[in-house]
Copies of this chain bind each other. A is one copy, B any other.
Amino acid sequence: MKANLFFFLILFSFSPAFPQEKASWIWYPGDFEIWLHTEVGGRRQERGQIYPPFWRVDSPYGLVQFETNYNIPEAETVQVHSDGRFNVRIDGEMIYDLDPMNLALPAGKHHLLFLVENFKTFPSIRVQGKRVNSGKDWRVSNQNKKYNTVGTGNFTDPLSPPDRFSLEYTPISARVIQQEAHKTLVDFGKETFGKVIVKGLKGTGKIRLFYGETPQEALAETLAETYEYRNVNRSVAASDTTDSRAFRYILALTDPGVSFDRIEALYEYLPLTNKGSFECSDTLLNKIYDVSLYTLNLNTREFHLDGIKRDRWTWSGDAYQSYLMNFYTWFDEDVNKRTLWALRGHDPVETHINTILDYSFYWMIGIYDHYLYTGDTAFVKQVYPRMKTLMDFCLARTNANGFVEGLPGDWVFIDWAPIEKTGEVSFQQLLLARSLQAMALSARLADDPDYALKCSSLSEKIRTKIFDTFWSDEKNALVHNRKNGVLSPTVTRYANMFAILFDYADPAVKQKIRDHVILNDTILKITTPYMKFYELASLCEIGEEEKALEFVRDYWGGMLKLGATSVWEAYDPDQKGDEHYAMYGHPFGKSLCHAWGANPVYLFGKYLLGVKPTSPGYTTYTIEPSLAGLEWIKGKVPTPNGTIELYMNKMEIRVKTAQGKGILRIESASKPTVEEGVSVTRAGEKSWEIGLDTPLREYVVRY
């Protein structure tokens, strides 16, 4: 048996029948994502009309050259699969009479180059040999005299190049809840997304499908945000499938001559594994976690979308929160990277990302945060040239004070709130300072020390200038903005809570911000889950987890009481009835499944389970769990090297570690009890640190 196995292993190593996984499809970095964005971006619909993005949407490069220098001890033949017409040169010499399944490579050191043309989708190639295989070490150029490492991903099947990328599908069914002649209303039981199937459709005339996140929306017919009309002209019944749409309810109206059997759907989804989890003694919070997770799931697709009904776009500010939420749920690195590439597009940079000033900054900060969680240096190096041109664009638009402000064509977003957005807004300067830090760190990874130095020194200068300019000793806070040289007397939460989140304030200043802004009810309240994301995080950063949970119960709980099966784009408890569904001047304009509403999955993971990386890729991490008034909490947080599991009640904490070196930091009046050999050190009056030095081990701590 042993001998046989050995024989098989040899076969495995050398047989050309098995090495599929050695060769990957490769492409120009970002172009798979840029192409996918051209496909996905235009799927937004508004009342039957297409609604593609209002920013520049780039096409991928249609003509690129892939190359490698190989060195093999003996000649071999490789199989070439190309998505696009191509030619091959070895050491600069064109290969004639090419048989792609049998390309002979001479032994020794040689330069191998493929020029691939595909202006319909984008060029990609897969080369598979015994030793020479296309993969992430190959280089690519769009023939602009610049060379990049190639883009790669989970595409290894020779018959499935990356432009065959597809989400997955599974059938779901609906219940008829209203039925009249030629009028059927069905309910899929909860917010969902997919391709609608009209089974057994026949006759002559029109069928009209109105989609609703609520029954009211579907029944409002042409006031629904999305709908479609189809002409039917057939005597034999057949099934029709639509483009993918978001809905819970569908109203089908048919002309008298048209009939169908029933309405079903193909649920469309990105396969994701729940690696994170959260549970606690409060069933409402558990329900909120589940609905948040489902909301995030529905919005995590080709890219991180903002909402599935209306925009279906990638928005850098929204996506930034999704990157972070992703790290506490499925830790799917690819969807983050797809989104980052798609948002950025190609050079030249002519507008801010999504045309929004703040969104350029979230893009740069997002890359650094992605790196912190994943440790993916290769990605930072690859995307770095595009970070740099974006930062150069931003810096070229700073004013004489070195501050940014909205210039003609810029959208200054911050939040949906009645606030001043012109002049030097303090909040934007904080994002600039943080982006410069992200750039400095990325520049170091990408071996660009001069730029790193420039950015880090600029960041420091701006941080100092922010406090010199905007800090009011009278208000004990950063004021909102300065316009025409005149400081505003207004204090808003934005800059102040980001000063805490970015750790730009010293402890005394933090205390002032806490008392005079965060916990001050006279300061303009935040009403979107979008900015609530940061507000709740900043509450937790200053030890107010209980207050944060109070708000979560109230706000998310309020939506659940109204029957929400996914979290909304905005929620105002003072509104009544259908008022809840209106936004942007449309009666059903509000998205009832909005990614930014999923933020409890992040909040619970980062601030209750308390898990966060302290060095890139979780090589070190801390766990600072907080019961926040609950009897017990338990859950999982994924890392690139395994999942951290935690259970905590008022007496005991159990932690299962991942790879990497962790520290458990807890509050306890007395010294916690740990197993033999585990270190406990005092970190403050009532604060203790337990060393989690052994990977994949369970620690039990009593306190």
Residues of A within 8 A of B (CB): 38-39, 41-42, 46-57, 59-63, 85-88, 94-98, 115, 117, 119-120, 142-146, 222, 347-348, 350-351, 355, 408-409
Q: Are A145 and B350 in contact (CB under 8 A)?
A: yes
Contacts of A355 in B (CB 8 A): 145
In the complex, 22 of the A-B residue pairs with CB atoms within 8 angstroms, ordered by the A residue number, are A38-B62, A41-B63, A46-B87, A46-B94, A47-B94, A48-B96, A49-B95, A49-B96, A50-B86, A50-B87, A52-B63, A52-B85, A52-B117, A53-B63, A56-B63, A56-B144, A57-B62, A57-B143, A59-B61, A59-B62, A144-B350, A348-B348
Distance from A225 Cβ to chain B, minimum over Cβ atoms (Å): 11
Give which listed residue, B53, B143, B347, contacts A348 with CB less than 8 A. B347
Distance from A117 Cβ to chain B, minimum over Cβ atoms (Å): 5
Contacts of A348 in B (CB 8 A): 347-348
Once A50-B86, A95-B49, A96-B48 are accepted as A-B contacts, the answer to whether A38 and B222 lie under 8 Å apart by CB is no
Contacts of A145 in B (CB 8 A): 350-351, 355, 408-409
Name A47's closest neighbour in chain B (CB-CB). Answer: B96
New A-B contacts (17) at CB < 8 Å, excluding given A52-B115, A143-B351, A144-B351: A38-B63, A42-B63, A47-B94, A49-B87, A49-B96, A50-B86, A51-B87, A51-B94, A52-B63, A52-B117, A53-B143, A56-B63, A56-B142, A57-B143, A144-B350, A145-B355, A347-B348
Contacts of A409 in B (CB 8 A): 145
Name A38's closest neighbour in chain B (CB-CB). Answer: B119
Q: Are B96 and A42 in contact (CB under 8 A)?
A: no
Name A408's closest neighbour in chain B (CB-CB). Answer: B145
Provide the bound-state CA to CA distance between A94 and B119, in Å: 31
Contacts of A94 in B (CB 8 A): 46-47, 49, 51
Once A94-B46, A222-B96, A350-B144 are accepted as A-B contacts, the answer to whether A59 and B59 lie under 8 Å apart by CB is yes
Q: Which of A39, A119, A142 has the most chain B CB atoms inside 10 A of its CB?
A: A119
Distance from A234 Cβ to chain B, minimum over Cβ atoms (Å): 24
Distance from A125 Cβ to chain B, minimum over Cβ atoms (Å): 14
Q: Is the interface of A mostly helix, strand, loop or mixed?
A: loop
Provide the bound-state CA to CA distance between A412 and B304, in Å: 47
Provide the bound-state CA to CA distance between A46 and B97, in Å: 10
Provide the bound-state CA to CA distance between A97 and B229, in Å: 10
Contacts of A54 in B (CB 8 A): 115, 143
Q: Are B144 and A50 in contact (CB under 8 A)?
A: no
Contacts of A49 in B (CB 8 A): 87-88, 94-96, 98
Q: Are B60 and A59 in contact (CB under 8 A)?
A: yes
Contacts of A55 in B (CB 8 A): 143
Number of copies: 2
Provide the bound-state CA to CA distance between A61 and B348, in Å: 13
Q: Which of A97, A120, A143, A409 has the most chain B CB atoms inside 10 A of its CB?
A: A143
Provide the bound-state CA to CA distance between A189 and B42, in Å: 53
Contacts of A53 in B (CB 8 A): 63, 143
Name A54's closest neighbour in chain B (CB-CB). Answer: B143
Contacts of A115 in B (CB 8 A): 52, 54
Provide the bound-state CA to CA distance between A117 and B59, in Å: 12
Contacts of A222 in B (CB 8 A): 96-97
Provide the bound-state CA to CA distance between A355 and B144, in Å: 9
Contacts of A86 in B (CB 8 A): 50
Q: What 10 A-B pairs have minimum CB-CB distances, sorted nearest first?
A: A145-B409, A144-B350, A59-B59, A49-B87, A38-B119, A47-B96, A57-B63, A348-B348, A56-B144, A56-B143
Provide the bound-state CA to CA distance between A94 and B222, in Å: 14
Q: Are A61 and B56 in contact (CB under 8 A)?
A: yes
Provide the bound-state CA to CA distance between A76 and B49, in Å: 22
Name A223's closest neighbour in chain B (CB-CB). Answer: B96
Provide the bound-state CA to CA distance between A86 and B351, in Å: 23
Q: Are A85 and B143 in contact (CB under 8 A)?
A: no
Provide the bound-state CA to CA distance between A163 and B223, in Å: 36
Distance from A243 Cβ to chain B, minimum over Cβ atoms (Å): 12
Name A39's closest neighbour in chain B (CB-CB). Answer: B119
Contacts of A48 in B (CB 8 A): 96-98
Distance from A470 Cβ to chain B, minimum over Cβ atoms (Å): 29
Distance from A694 Cβ to chain B, minimum over Cβ atoms (Å): 52
Provide the bound-state CA to CA distance between A97 and B86, in Å: 45
Provide the bound-state CA to CA distance between A609 and B652, in Å: 103
Distance from A162 Cβ to chain B, minimum over Cβ atoms (Å): 16
Contacts of A351 in B (CB 8 A): 143-145
Distance from A147 Cβ to chain B, minimum over Cβ atoms (Å): 11
Provide the bound-state CA to CA distance between A142 and B54, in Å: 9
Give which listed residue, B42, B47, B117, contacts A117 with CB less than 8 A. B42
Provide the bound-state CA to CA distance between A120 and B119, in Å: 8
Contacts of A96 in B (CB 8 A): 46-49, 222
Provide the bound-state CA to CA distance between A220 and B146, in Å: 39
Distance from A29 Cβ to chain B, minimum over Cβ atoms (Å): 15
Name A59's closest neighbour in chain B (CB-CB). Answer: B59
Q: Are A117 and B46 in contact (CB under 8 A)?
A: no
Q: Are B60 and A117 in contact (CB under 8 A)?
A: no
Provide the bound-state CA to CA distance between A52 and B117, in Å: 8
Contacts of A143 in B (CB 8 A): 53-57, 351
Provide the bound-state CA to CA distance between A61 and B95, in Å: 34
Contacts of A62 in B (CB 8 A): 38, 57, 59
Distance from A417 Cβ to chain B, minimum over Cβ atoms (Å): 23
Contacts of A52 in B (CB 8 A): 63, 85, 115, 117
Distance from A349 Cβ to chain B, minimum over Cβ atoms (Å): 10
Name A87's closest neighbour in chain B (CB-CB). Answer: B49
Contacts of A85 in B (CB 8 A): 42, 50, 52
Q: Which of A51, A85, A94, A145 has the most chain B CB atoms inside 10 A of its CB?
A: A145
Contacts of A41 in B (CB 8 A): 63
Q: Which of A39, A47, A56, A97 has the most chain B CB atoms inside 10 A of its CB?
A: A56
Give which listed residue, B59, B88, B117, B350, contacts A119 with CB less than 8 A. B59
Provide the bound-state CA to CA distance between A143 and B408, in Å: 14
Contacts of A144 in B (CB 8 A): 56, 350-351
Provide the bound-state CA to CA distance between A84 and B342, in Å: 22
Name A347's closest neighbour in chain B (CB-CB). Answer: B348
Provide the bound-state CA to CA distance between A111 and B465, in Å: 44
Distance from A290 Cβ to chain B, minimum over Cβ atoms (Å): 36
